[in-house]
Amino acid sequence: MSTARLYYITKTLLSYGLDELIPKQKIPWYAKIARGSLFWLRNQHKNKPAGLRLRLALQELGPVWIKFGQMLSTRRDLLPHDIALELAFLQDQVEPFEGELAQKIIEKALEISDINQLFSEFSQTPLASASIAQVHTAKLVDAHNNSQDVVIKVIRPNIKTQINADLALMEKLAKVLANVHSEAKRLRPVEVVKEYKKTLLDELDLMREGANGIQLKRNFEGSDSLYIPAVYSDYSRSNVLVMERIYGIPVSDTESLIAQNTNMKLLAERGVEVFFTQVFRDSFFHADMHPGNIFVSREHPENPMYIGIDCGIVGTLNKEDKRYLAENFIAFFNRDYRQVAQLHVDSGWVPPDTSIEEFEFAIRTVCEPIFNKPLAEISFGHVLVNLFNTARRFNMQVQPQLVLLQKTLLYVEGLGRQLYPQLDLWKTAKPFLEDWVKQQVGPLSVMKQMYANLPFWAEKMPELPDLIYQNLKRSPQMQYSQPSKVSHKALVLSLLGSATLIVSALCYLQHDLIAAGITLAASAISFIAAWRNT
């Protein structure tokens, strides 16, 4: 299966003449020999523009490749304008399958003999067609005989077989690369493909997408920045998803946005804020934010709101990754490159024997030129090349858990460039991240953690006297068994200080400020006395 698929991929790429897009001087001699050996595979579309040939080739290869083209479409600083425009069609204008077949899939999934049993109207002509599924409009009749405008998302038939074949081939190629090329091993292709596989297969389960949409909607309930359509879970299955229909302007339609006097600067800034809010506040972010999945509400153009759809791919970060990322961003914003270097070593992203001084200098060389410039003046392509060279020099490894975040950052930057090229990405994000870090390491964070542990402390408080008594009872025996550097009196005072500190926190959380102040003072006195007796 993999060999046949590999030949099909090679045949498709060569028949669309994509090898001709690579400058001849960049092609190694062995690649030229390999190309010559496939002499019967010639360019069959010489009269078509390069961008169209690339789009058609990716579209013919299927969803794994279409997803790649979708990401490239947002990188207009890396691609010629005509190619970027063609790839943009991959976002929601992939060739659809038959509407009649979609209707049969819906009827089978919902176990109904006729679609009119649940939907008073159903359009067999797709509203949009993407790499994994396509969307049809309908009117849902609920239990109270009310009609709701909805869209029905339907997974493409037999799509999983094709995806598995491509992923199996990618896994084999990743293993070969990791074993034969030291540079590829550093990039951890096996782990990256494994993470991509999990993400792509998760996207095939529309029940998971529905749950993701419900979570995101709850996270931004009442927000002026982002709206997520409602999901009708009772009418959804693993291959069919029924959602509220939205009527917004595609975020890529800048002419319509400008025509309705949309505040483009605020819209671009909110895109950045929404991303960082999802990542750092919620640890749950929409990881497929290409322009085909993002709309802008037609209401209140002076106070624009995003509408996000297609929540099949979401990302999460653990507490340690979030903190390291936030501290890295802030250090970048403050141009504290030594802190950036140190954080990379502390997080394990570069080897522990890395020279902090050399790494700091390399990061400064790459990043210093980009600050205090609007997006339109920043060559991120050049920056990415330099960062890659820096990573190779210091053996920085790709972090699979951050792949989705990195991809989403590319989308956010692409959207920002398209909406408001003068947007200062750093200036917009810095205050948000500084506030987040303060919340994580400041007194408010301590109180929140104490409040979260309140049920545990309340349960263990009755046991505290017994624990103190047992510890005191063991102390004389421990003095004979081994030398002790801490006096008996200091130990008692430390335990007393800890106990009164816990009581003070409990009193504060119960809004008994007088008792909290008294016990806090007692705790401080106990700790000072314990310190003096050590």
User: Model confidence over 195-219: pLDDT tens digits?
Assistant: 777 777 888 899 999 999 999 999 9
pLDDT at position 148, please?
Answer: 92
114-119 long-range contacts, CB within 8 A, separation 24+: 118/235, 119/150, 119/152
Q: Percent of the chain scored above 70 by pLDDT?
A: 73
Q: Are the C-beta atoms of 109 and 240 separated by less than 8 Å? A: yes
pLDDT at position 58, please?
Answer: 85
Confidence of residue 477 (pLDDT cuts 50, 70, 90): low
User: Model confidence over 496-506: pLDDT tens digits?
Assistant: 777 777 777 66
Residue 313 has pLDDT above 70, yes or no: yes
Average pLDDT (354-374) is 81
Q: Which of 30-34, 195-199, 259-263 has the highest mean pLDDT?
A: 259-263
User: Model confidence over 235-247: pLDDT tens digits?
Assistant: 999 999 999 999 9
Residue 276 has pLDDT above 60, yes or no: yes
253 is catalytic: no
Q: Which among 26, 352, 404, 398 is positioned nearest to 177, based on CA atoms? A: 398
Q: Which among 322, 327, 321, 323 is positioned nearest to 340, based on CA atoms? A: 327
pLDDT at position 135, please?
Answer: 94
pLDDT at position 229, please?
Answer: 96
Confidence of residue 449 (pLDDT cuts 50, 70, 90): low
Q: How many Å apart are CA 534 and CA 529, to the nearest integer?
A: 9
pLDDT at position 248, please?
Answer: 93
454-460 long-range contacts, CB within 8 A, separation 24+: 454/506, 454/509, 457/502, 457/505, 457/506, 458/506
Residue 510 has pLDDT above 80, yes or no: no
Whole-number mean pLDDT of the chain?
A: 79
- Of the ranges 111-125, 260-274, 450-464, which one carries the lowest mean pLDDT score? 450-464
Q: Is 375 helix (H, G, I), strand (E, B) or coil?
A: helix
Q: Percent of the chain scored above 90 by pLDDT?
A: 24
Residue 169 has pLDDT above 90, yes or no: no
Confidence of residue 401 (pLDDT cuts 50, 70, 90): low
Q: Which among 237, 234, 260 is positioned nearest to 248, based on CA atoms? A: 260
Average pLDDT (290-306) is 91
pLDDT at position 220, please?
Answer: 95
Q: How many Å apart are CA 149 and CA 221, to the nearest integer?
A: 21
User: Model confidence over 142-156: pLDDT tens digits?
Assistant: 777 888 999 999 999
Neighbours of 448 (CB within 10 A): 12
pLDDT at position 101, please?
Answer: 95
pTM of the predicted protein model: 0.70
The phi and psi torsions of 134 (rounded to 5 degrees) equal -135, 165
Residue 488 has pLDDT above 70, yes or no: no
Q: Are the C-beta atoms of 287 and 313 separated by less than 8 Å? A: yes
- Catalytic pick from 77, 92, 166, 288? 288
Q: What tokens does 153 get?
A: 């998302």
Q: Which of 285-294, 386-395, 402-411 has the highest mean pLDDT?
A: 285-294
Average pLDDT (237-259) is 93
